[in-house]
Structures are given as C-alpha cells and as structure tokens.
Amino acid sequence: MEPIRLIAAILLTTFIGCNILYLFLRERGSLNFFERMAISYGLGIGALSLEMFLFSLAGLKYSAGYVILPWGIILVANIFIYFIKKPVRQKKPFYVEPGGMLKAGRMLSVFLSSGIVFEIAYSFFRALIKPIESYDAVAIYAIKAKIFYVARSIPEEFFSKLSSLFPHPDYPLNIPIFQAFLYGAMGSLNDQLVKIIFPLYFVSILAVLYFSVRRFAGSLYALLFTFILATIAQFNAYSTNGYIDLPLAYYCFISAILLFKYFEDTKKGYFVVLSAMMAGLAAWTKNEGILYCAVSLCLFALFLIVNRRKVSIRDAGGLFVYAGIIFIIYSPWLWTKAVYAITNVDVGPLSITPAAMVKQSYKALPILYEFQRQFFGPKKWNLIWIVAMFAVLFNYKKLFNKTLYYITAYLIFVFCGYILIYLISNVEIRYFLNTTWSRFPIHFMPVLVYWLALLLKEEIDL
C-alpha cells in the first residue's frame, strides 16, 4: 500500500501545481502538456510545503482537510474560469521539422532517446535501492522531516531549542516539509520510497529543457542536448543522493526559462508572475536560491535599461511585481529566522568596499584553482566545460546578440555571485571550495546547456 499512497500523494501535489498554473496560463498554448506537468510538479511541492509551514506557524497540526481545503477553493475558481471565460488558445510555437528524417537521423534519434530513458531509469534505480544515507541529506534535511512527521507539525520548540543541534539551521524547509508530507501519506518513515522526489525533479528538468530547445530547433537537436544534460555524471548523481542541489537547479532553471520567454514577448506578463514564483521557491529550497533571485532581478533591470525606449510603465512595474512575489514567498521563512535569531555561520556580513575586497584578495588563487579543477574534470562533468570553452572561443561574436544577450548575462551574474559568496565567507577558503564548488555548478547547469543549444544551433546541422 505504501507505493500506492506515495503515487497518490505525488499526483495530488502535481494537481495542486496544475491548478496554480492554470490560474495564469489557462488554455494558452505557450507551454506543452508535458512542460505543464513538469512545472506543476515542483510548483505543487513548493506551494504545499509553504502552506504546511504557515499552518505550523499558526499552531495547526497537519491534516488532510487543512492541506487540501485551500486548493479546493482554487479548483472551484478554475472551473468557473473554464466555463465562464472563453479559453485563449494559441498555436504551439514549436519548430517545424524541415522534411522527413533520414535513416541515419532516425538511428541517432533512437540512440539518444534510449540513452535518456536509460539515464532516467538508472536514476530511479539508484535513488530507490537504498534509504537516505548521505551526510547532508540526513543531518540537514531528513531528520527534520522525521521530526515534522512525528509531531504532525513543526514543534513550537523546534526553532528555539532543536534546530541549533543540526548543521545549517538556517537552511529553508521546502524539501523537509514535503518529505514529512510524503511520510504522512505513506503512514510510515520509509526512507527509500521518499527519495522518489529527486529523480522526478531530474525528469522534470529534462522535459522542460527538451521542449525549450524544440521551440527553435528540431526534435533530434533537442534530444542531443537533453542527452548531454542527462549523462553529466555529477548532475545525474544528485538526482539520487537526497541532496537539495538538484531541486534548486530545477527552480532556478524554470524561473530563468520563463523570464527569458517574457523578454521575447512582453505581452505575456503571466510569465513574470510564474518566473517570480519559481525564483521565490528557489530561495525557499536552499540559501543559494537567494543569489538566483538577485540575479533574476538584476537581469530584469538590465532588460528595462537596454529596452528603455520600448518598455511601457506596465513593463517597468513588472520588476516590482517580480520582487514583490519573491518577498511574499520568502518572507515567512525570513520572519522566522529574524524572530529566532537563526543566522548563517558560513557567510559574514556583506562588505564590498575596496578595502574589504583588497583584504580578501588572497582568495583569488584558490578560487581560480578550484574552478579549473572542476572545469577540466571529465570524471564528473564529461566534456561539458571543454565544449563550452570552445563554443565561446569560436562563437564569441554571438554571445551578446539578440538571442543570447540575456542568457549570457545571466550566467555571468551567477559566476560573479558565487565568487562574491566565496570572498565574503567566514569559512577557510580551501575547505569551503572543496566542499561546495563540485555542487554549485549543478544549480546553473540546465541553463548552461540551454545556452549552448542556442549558441551552437548554426554549427550543428540536425
């Protein structure tokens, strides 16, 4: 019965995400059905965990009635919208294949598809073959999830007495609360089955990447870059070990893709709302998500500056809407940290004065050394960084053209953000780099692969 209850809980969560998504997209053809499901999955998890967190702050115990009731109201609203308002339908903007596929192309398509399916199946196998056992996954997240499940809430004394006993008490609770929800749905602390959420995030990222590339290229080309991402050993490994880096990559990637879609057509203001929601959920998933919120806001501001002669007051107001949505989503956790004086012990007070930067300049060499060690480490990253380097060398004139301008800027902002984090960190720099930089590129890897797909479109004839 446990697997059946688990599947039912996952479907309910995705259905909640679908309802939220429908409020903004309705029947517009901007997203494919599978994209909607992929986005609904993570959106439902974030919304559900945030709801349960608010219930805990209000002193309520978790129960099926409390959890489902608000989403039932949204379902009724969506039914009303569907029958009262005429659906707005648009032609699905997918790239049209130029004629039939040659036999060699079909063989390559079968090979790539089989490879992707194998990697997905293997990630589920590795995730479900053993319980949560990696250190961070247990000490930072899984123990908290078990406490929430047993207490049927976040205990009143958790933040004042218990949280300081665990590493990184300031880490957000999106995934632990959802794990507690799944434990409740299954009726047991099954550490093996609960890990299914991580390969599902992996599948969702691949689905969104494939259909995003399909909008400007053929299916074979989209399969190629989906295959590239699926077979990156480090990226795939984090879909199985219970760490939160891959769920963070999911929220950052979808937030970025939706924001890029808005830049392409500013009439689609609903993408601003959805992108901001995903950015807020990134911050609610892991502290590094705050960096991606800042990057998205900087990118939005850059867009308004570059297009200042074309943007309307409504477009400019989108920046404040974006920031407001992020704040609304993140503020309950921000408030909790302030009330209970929960601080981050790794990063010191922000100081970017010239004197402070000179004082921290000794960190530059260790940072550069660790960066190159990861970039030229095919055991973890295959050849993705080497391909990216040569792609830049041979296509540097395209990096800031109309298509790639904002994606290139996004990646530059992210790199600069991580360097700043290392510079202001209180942790010994070599230890900090050794324990984090092998994971941090996972957060922006889907955006990097999407960027490469755009950059190499004319060079790869598929």
Identify the CA nearest to 95 among candidates 226, 257, 222, 256. Answer: 222
- Model pLDDT, residue 92: 59
Q: Are residues 328 and 355 in the same domain?
A: no
Last residue of a domain, one of 336, 355, 385: 336
Residue 8 lies inside a defined structural domain of this protein = yes
pTM for this entry: 0.94
Q: Are residues 309 and 405 in the same domain?
A: no
Contact 408, 400 (CB under 8 A): yes
Last residue of a domain, one of 278, 301, 336: 336
What whole-number distance in Å separates Cα of residue 319 and Cα of residue 131? 43
Q: Are residues 324 and 451 in the same domain?
A: no
Q: Are residues 240 and 381 in the same domain?
A: no
- Model pLDDT, residue 101: 61
Q: Which tokens in the block code for residue 421? A: 């984090």
133-139 long-range Cβ contacts below 8 angstroms, 24+ apart:
133/242, 134/241, 134/242, 134/243, 136/167, 136/242, 136/243, 137/241, 137/242, 137/243, 138/242, 139/166, 139/167
Q: Are residues 284 and 356 in the same domain?
A: no
Residue range of the domain that includes 214: 2-90+106-336
- Model pLDDT, residue 29: 62
- Model pLDDT, residue 79: 78
Residue 98 lies inside a defined structural domain of this protein = no
Residue 97 lies inside a defined structural domain of this protein = no
Q: Are residues 375 and 327 in the same domain?
A: no
What whole-number distance in Å separates Cα of residue 320 and Cα of residue 297? 9
Contact 438, 374 (CB under 8 A): yes
Average pLDDT over residues 365-391: 88
Q: Are residues 366 and 313 in the same domain?
A: no
Number of structural domains in the chain: 2
Q: Are residues 69 and 142 in the same domain?
A: yes
Residue 95 lies inside a defined structural domain of this protein = no
Contact 105, 462 (CB under 8 A): yes
Q: Are residues 165 and 206 in the same domain?
A: yes
What whole-number distance in Å separates Cα of residue 45 and Cα of residue 60? 19
Q: Are residues 112 and 166 in the same domain?
A: yes
pLDDT tens, 240-258?
999 999 999 999 999 999 9
Residue 327 lies inside a defined structural domain of this protein = yes
Residue 357 lies inside a defined structural domain of this protein = yes
Last residue of a domain, one of 318, 336, 354: 336
Q: Are residues 264 and 146 in the same domain?
A: yes
pLDDT tens, 127-159?
999 888 888 899 889 999 999 999 999 988 898
What whole-number distance in Å separates Cα of residue 316 and Cα of residue 101? 45
Residue 96 lies inside a defined structural domain of this protein = no
Q: Are residues 291 and 187 in the same domain?
A: yes
pLDDT tens, 297-336?
999 999 999 988 887 888 888 999 999 999 999 999 999 9
Residue 101 lies inside a defined structural domain of this protein = no
Contact 228, 384 (CB under 8 A): yes
